[in-house]
Amino acid sequence: MRKQIIEYTSPLDALIDIVKQLNVYEIEYQMDSADFFAKYSRGETTDDEVFVEWAGNYQHYLALHEELESKLKDVA
């Protein structure tokens, strides 16, 4: 599979795109990303490429969410 490099104009744009990607996985596998990631972290899933990508996307989501939350606290 060929990987793409996507550049975003803001962390918010990146977060929106990641949430859309996570939603696709959640619908396909009928599982919330947080629940999936907990199972993945415990080794309860296979290391299929799709699961590795899902886990990576979820970690990216968490990092972006934390970054935006921190910026919002600085504004308040």
Q: Which residues of the chain have pLDDT under 70?
A: 1-6, 8, 76
pLDDT at 5: 67
What is the three-class DSSP state of 22?
Answer: helix
| Domain boundaries along the sequence of the chain | 11-75
- How would you label 46-64 residue by residue, b for 16+ Cβ within 10 Å and e otherwise? eeeeebeebbebbebbeeb
pLDDT at 76: 62
pLDDT at 4: 66
pLDDT per position as a tens digit, 43-54: 999 999 999 999
pLDDT at 1: 52
